[in-house]
Structure 1
Amino acid sequence: MKETYIKLIALILVLIICFVVDAKLRGYSSERKLEDGSILITCIAKVISIDVSKATGDSHSWSYPVDGQIVTLRLTSGKYKGKEVFSANPFIGEYTDRVLIVGDYLYININLKSGDSVSSGAVLIGEYVRTPFLLYLAGTFIALVIAIGGMKGIKSIVSLALSTVFIIAVLVPMCLQGYSPILVAILISAINTVLTFLLIGGVSKKSVAGILGTIGGLFVTALLAFISSRVLHLTGQDVSFGFLDLGKRLWLSPQSTNWNFSGILVAGMILGASGAVMDASMAVASAIEQVKKANPKFGFWNCIKAGMNVGKDEMGMMANTLIFAYIGADITLILMPMIQFGEEGRAMPMTRVINQESTSAEIVQAITGTIGIIIAIPITALIAGLLIGRTKSSEYEDVFPITEQTESKHRNPVFRYLILIMLILISAGVHIVYSISRSSSESQVDKSESSSVVSEYVRAKVMEKGEPIETPTSSPYGFGNAENEVLKAKLLGGTFKNAKVLVQNIIDPNRMPLANIKVKVGDEVLLKVDGTKDGIERVLMNNYSRDGFLIYLTGILVIVLALIGRFQGIRTALALAISIVVVIQLLVPLIVKGYNALLVVIVISGIIAFSSLIIVTEFNRKTGSATIGILGGVIIASFIIIYADQKLHFTGISSSRTAILTQFTVSEKLDFRNILMAGIIMGLLGTAMDSAVVVASAVREIKNANPKLSTGQLITAGMSVGTDLLGTITNTLVFAYLGLRLILLMTFAGTSIFTGGKLEILSTETISAEILRILAGSIGLVLTIPITAIISALWDKIFGFLGLVRS
């Protein structure tokens, strides 16, 4: 009863805070004096009427025709609140056109010169006001966490707030002050891990095991990310924000001259993985604790086995979490290689896309983070088994009824030899894939011209390197000369395989490091080769050849999966491979052909998710209940996403990549708004699977430990594991986003590149879409937990007569 009152009070506080913050947001206004002495007022206005015809000067404020809309706006904030102003909303036939309707709320800028009234000032329409809707969506998420999680839910929200404060108030300032971003990220992640586990789990053996497991996994992630950044020549400057080339702007800005961009990139990878590693460690430690409570006679080895079973199931879902989360976050990236750009043909073939720094960095982040998660699972299971499994049974005897349980038997030694054989086969397979990739090429020429014209991206090995020749820099404001070096390289694939070519490589100190490709003899690079079947006409340096290392890094992931997950780990790798093939060969082509992206993603992603569950865990109580839990959470969250799309006026065109696709592609079938929503739902599905499987797997292990438990006791135990996950799940989503956007946070805090108001920047489609992605994903996760726990506990009663129940 006491907890019920606390939950009620917390929910009322959330509602009050939402109302107060909403009033503050809606009352936003600012003034600043410009260099010419005029005043720029930024405030919020509501559209009260629209002239949809061409303006002919009917309004006293207009004396020239405008092809578009003449909008009458009533100011709703600031000292001129209630005043009416007029503005043009011209249509130019581009993707930037937007049709306003009565009732829309917009940020507007009014330029007032000395003596001007607000009605006569020049008015410029800005972004839609999106923050109030996102505020209430965040309030809905917090309310759900509290309602479902109770005190653990309240602690989860506090943990999330502390984590965010740590990043913004400690990590970002320390990086700006010149401290090593990598060391700072490790330190902050470790401190946040300790605080989160102690807050959610208290000072307990479960918390100690989770903390040590998380730190172990993060150490592995940090080490692999650092090594990868060096091997792949990652500069950390291939980053954009909406239509802004943020990396270039930061390189040019004197305020960020001394920033360690490469270190910031690796720090973001560590930060992004920390939440997911915490999630895995908490799942394993919490499951072991609940299993011990279910059967206090469970010993050390049985506790470890139960924890590893839950951990292996979670590993099994990483395939889809990776595929759905990363592809969903940037679905246009995988569309690029399959789209024709007029006369340019396939200007962005997959080989070129993968070897770009931004793409390679995202792949490294996904793989190194996943390896860290996998490593954390056995560490946590071993420590939790030692601490909890050796606890005297008398400490848990009053929790649930006890059944006798014998220690698990060791696996037949023949399985060890099978695993060894599989590891050898995996290593050989990785090397074969590398060899095939190394000698392959991709053409950007249309099929109709491929018989005569050659225009392809080919990997080449640098054989000789000429003495650099100093040449004048191309920058009019540069210092020092550029170095022009001629490389002799051997083509490793393509039409002219094994041919020796000469390629010019310019190293200019006045260009950003991202644009300089520094190589030595023996290095492999990506070249653009143009010509005809009769001979080569031009060879251009394109990029470092990064995909070879990425293949071997993926091989390490598969080997780690096999070593720790055994045959279930191998099945996970198989599910991952099948998912990638289906996405590239089926999902993407259907979207490119113009089929409804929302429908395609929901149907195919659902099929992939269910198929992966069957491959990894077979069909049983766990698979069935997890599937129903996933569907329940995803369907509800999908309705929220579709409704939010209507309220937030998304176009789907909020980055330079989507703008390029819109302007230059010959396809008119791409609905970018639908593609954006499809990507958000796809990412939601991937994360929901993880939590559903953990809860379903934990309920199975608890039931195996004590078959005498009632349905209510099983639900209680499953919810206990699920609510433990709430704190780490929210951290997973927030840390994953903040890790990717660490350099953006530093830009806001340490430079003046963004001059607009912070609320207006938050309302941009780019950031609003990311906030919606986080909130919708979080809501889906929270709803998945109780649905899965209930279905798992009731599985025997509901589905027993169908003969589908398995252990």
Structure 2
Amino acid sequence: MGADHTRPAPSTPPGVRRILVATVVPLFLATLVAALALWPRDAREVDAGTEPPRYHGTVTKVVTEPCPPTPDAPEGGPATGDGPCGTVTVRVDQGPDAGQQVETPVPAGPGAPEVAVGDEIILVELTDPADPSASAYNIAEHQRGEPLVWLVALFAAAIVAFGRWRGLAALAGLAASFAILLTFVLPGISAGRSPLLVAVVGAALIMFVVLYLTHGVTAQTSVAVLGTLGSLVLTGVLGTLATAATHLTGYGSEEATTLSMFQADVDLHGLLLAGIIIGSLGVLDDVTVTQAATVTELAHANPGLTRGQLYRSATRVGRAHIASTVNTIVLAYAGASLPVLLLLTADSRAASQILTSEFLAQEIVRSAVATLGLIAAVPLTTALAALVTTAGRRGDRPADPDAPAPAPRPAADRTDALEALSAPRAGTTAPATPAGWPDRDRSTDTGW
């Protein structure tokens, strides 16, 4: 999350540090108190009695054969059933039949795995309800543990190799994020707590842990924390208003409908809002850390910049960042909802009816609300960073009429340097260049 800014920032005045501590520490304590109050103490127990046993196995033989004819096949249609057909011989590696060879039918149907000799698969033992002593094995899916472990190891090694200690801290922050999600957010929602409240508290807890762990306990990080927290609250308010205005119920996906069958007490409308907040957190962290670091670097590079100049310069950087990040948000939601978007080409209804239906309207609301919160994070964080960075400077205080005027900075230094850089080398001919250099104070934003 965010960029790596390893150069130490200039020391923050003690008064500013005290104000930041007095602001951030109570917010952190309030987050801890809220997390303890919402922490799920009575975890929901899953009834494992209805789930069939699952064992590891290895495919040793595959025999395919033509499928038998379907008696009720329509006239002119295929005469055989949907394939593939045949048997698979599997060596059972776990369970009471470990070491034995068993035969299972070739997996068939939508989403069925394609197996070959040597594949490591998961077997499901099915028992005949009429005769509990009779059982059979079916292939459920492939074993994915080993390739996933190698992929995660490569992911972690690349981060540590590139980021070194900062990369290691980022991995620790990622582990903390998953720990909070798995031990607090998901169990809290499953236990019947308000999904919106749990998501806000969980996101704030993740933010405090990850930002300070990854970027260090500094004034710059504290500014990013305050900007992220303010934007998260705004995102929650906008999400509540948007879902109420569009009358979204949270039943816009098949997963939500299935969840309502297993856990009838889950607030799906609140779960929709919780997803918006959790999904926005990672991008908000990136934007706020970048804006705080940009202001700090600008002030370090040119201590003469005033508070307003710092704000305007860093905001121009933020505009460029937002322009690319908005596309990232929309494409992230589109990629996650690609099967839903494909319905646009398969549905016979008018496009306006499809776009305003629940399953697509909630994706539009997700993208719009997350983008609005992201845009608000730029001026909020930039203004806070400019205030903190310039605090205590004489240049931002009212001028003393009796004080001697500071010596003007020689203008020739910059001109001489630019002319030296543009001067042709000996033996070469300089290309034609425009007369004069652009105004030193003009905006770096270029026209489209």
**1:780 maps onto 2:381 in alignment:** no
Q: Which runs of 5+ in 1 are unaligned?
A: 1-279, 285-304, 311-337, 347-443, 447-453, 801-807
Note the C-alpha offset of 1:479: 4.9
Give the whole-Å Cα distance in 1 for the aligned partners of 2:153 and 2:245.
44
Give the whole-Å Cα distance in 2 for the aligned partners of 1:743 and 1:668.
26
Residue 501 and residue 714 in structure 1: after superposition, are their counterparts in 2 closer, same or farther (change >3 A)? farther
Give the whole-Å Cα distance in 2 for the aligned partners of 1:576 and 1:598.
22
**Who is 2:322 aligned against?**
726
Residue 687 and residue 457 in structure 1: after superposition, are their counterparts in 2 closer, same or farther (change >3 A)? farther
Residues 458, 492 of structure 1: 8 Å contact kept: yes
Residues 461, 489 of structure 1: 8 Å contact kept: yes
Residue 650 and residue 550 in structure 1: after superposition, are their counterparts in 2 closer, same or farther (change >3 A)? same
Letter of the aligned partner of 1:458 in structure 2? Y
Give the whole-Å Cα distance in 2 for the aligned partners of 1:339 and 1:650.
27
**Is the helix fraction higher in 1 or 2?**
1
- Give the TM-score of the pair, scaled to structure 2: 0.69
**Who is 1:648 aligned against?**
246
Residue 740 and residue 607 in structure 1: after superposition, are their counterparts in 2 closer, same or farther (change >3 A)? closer
Superposed counterparts of 1:161-176, under 5 Å = none
Residue 702 and residue 472 in structure 1: after superposition, are their counterparts in 2 closer, same or farther (change >3 A)? same
Residues 123, 138 of structure 2: 8 Å contact kept: yes
Structure 1 residues 663-708: Cα deviation after superposition (integer angstroms, max 9, x where no partner): 3x2x432111111111112212222111111111222333333444
Which residue of 467, 470, 478 maps to 2:78?
Answer: 478
Give the whole-Å Cα distance in 2 for the aligned partners of 1:609 and 1:503.
52
Superposed counterparts of 1:225-236, under 5 Å = none
Note the C-alpha offset of 1:529: 2.8
- Give the TM-score of the pair, scaled to structure 1: 0.40
Letter of the aligned partner of 2:55 in structure 1? V
Structure 1 residues 27-65: Cα deviation after superposition (integer angstroms, max 9, x where no partner): xxxxxxxxxxxxxxxxxxxxxxxxxxxxxxxxxxxxxxx
Note the C-alpha offset of 1:758: 1.3
Q: SS at 2:182's partner residue?
A: helix
Q: Which runs of 5+ in 2 are unaligned?
A: 10-42, 394-448
Residues 252, 362 of structure 2: 8 Å contact kept: no
Note the C-alpha offset of 1:498: 4.1
**Who is 1:770 aligned against?**
363
Note the C-alpha offset of 1:471: 3.2
Note the C-alpha offset of 1:744: 5.3
Residue 581 and residue 505 in structure 1: after superposition, are their counterparts in 2 closer, same or farther (change >3 A)? farther
Q: SS at 1:604's partner residue?
A: helix
Which residue of 347, 355, 360 maps to 1:754?
Answer: 347
Residue 500 and residue 795 in structure 1: after superposition, are their counterparts in 2 closer, same or farther (change >3 A)? farther
Note the C-alpha offset of 1:737: 3.0
**1:461 maps onto 2:62 in alignment:** no
**Who is 1:488 aligned against?**
89
**Who is 1:502 aligned against?**
102
Superposed counterparts of 1:64-83, under 5 Å = none
Note the C-alpha offset of 1:308: 10
**Cα-Cα RMSD:** 3.3
Give the whole-Å Cα distance in 1 for the aligned partners of 2:102 and 2:185.
40
Residues 491, 501 of structure 1: 8 Å contact kept: yes
Residues 642, 677 of structure 1: 8 Å contact kept: yes
Note the C-alpha offset of 1:776: 0.5
Which residue of 138, 141, 152 maps to 1:540?
Answer: 138
Residues 528, 541 of structure 1: 8 Å contact kept: yes
Give the whole-Å Cα distance in 1 for the aligned partners of 2:184 and 2:87.
43
**Who is 2:200 aligned against?**
602
Note the C-alpha offset of 1:780: 0.5
Superposed counterparts of 1:9-28, under 5 Å = none
**Who is 1:562 aligned against?**
160
Identity of aligned residues (%): 24
Residues 62, 116 of structure 2: 8 Å contact kept: no
Q: Looking at CA atoms only, which structure, 1 or 2, has the larger radius of gyration?
A: 2
Give the whole-Å Cα distance in 2 for the aligned partners of 1:745 and 1:590.
31
Residue 615 and residue 466 in structure 1: after superposition, are their counterparts in 2 closer, same or farther (change >3 A)? same
Residue 728 and residue 757 in structure 1: after superposition, are their counterparts in 2 closer, same or farther (change >3 A)? same
Residues 722, 785 of structure 1: 8 Å contact kept: yes
Residues 503, 541 of structure 1: 8 Å contact kept: no
Structure 1 residues 120-164: Cα deviation after superposition (integer angstroms, max 9, x where no partner): xxxxxxxxxxxxxxxxxxxxxxxxxxxxxxxxxxxxxxxxxxxxx
Residues 90, 104 of structure 2: 8 Å contact kept: no
Residues 124, 140 of structure 2: 8 Å contact kept: yes
Note the C-alpha offset of 1:473: 5.7
Note the C-alpha offset of 1:620: 0.9
Note the C-alpha offset of 1:799: 10
Q: SS at 2:172's partner residue?
A: helix
Q: SS at 1:455's partner residue?
A: coil
Give the whole-Å Cα distance in 1 for the aligned partners of 2:392 and 2:359.
45
Letter of the aligned partner of 1:583 in structure 2? L
Note the C-alpha offset of 1:466: 4.2
Which residue of 49, 52, 76 maps to 1:445?
Answer: 49
**Who is 2:231 aligned against?**
633
Residues 340, 359 of structure 2: 8 Å contact kept: no
Residue 609 and residue 460 in structure 1: after superposition, are their counterparts in 2 closer, same or farther (change >3 A)? farther
Superposed counterparts of 1:291-302, under 5 Å = none
Residues 527, 542 of structure 1: 8 Å contact kept: yes
Q: SS at 1:445's partner residue?
A: helix
- Number of aligned residue pairs: give it: 352
Which residue of 568, 571, 576 maps to 2:169?
Answer: 571
Note the C-alpha offset of 1:728: 0.5
Structure 1 residues 68-117: Cα deviation after superposition (integer angstroms, max 9, x where no partner): xxxxxxxxxxxxxxxxxxxxxxxxxxxxxxxxxxxxxxxxxxxxxxxxxx
Note the C-alpha offset of 1:725: 0.8
Structure 1 residues 376-429: Cα deviation after superposition (integer angstroms, max 9, x where no partner): xxxxxxxxxxxxxxxxxxxxxxxxxxxxxxxxxxxxxxxxxxxxxxxxxxxxxx
Note the C-alpha offset of 1:724: 1.3
Q: SS at 1:468's partner residue?
A: strand
Letter of the aligned partner of 1:767 in structure 2? L
Note the C-alpha offset of 1:503: 4.2
Give the whole-Å Cα distance in 2 for the aligned partners of 1:759 and 1:634.
31
Structure 1 residues 524-544: Cα deviation after superposition (integer angstroms, max 9, x where no partner): 222223569x99933221122
Note the C-alpha offset of 1:456: 2.8
Give the whole-Å Cα distance in 2 for the aligned partners of 1:657 and 1:743.
13
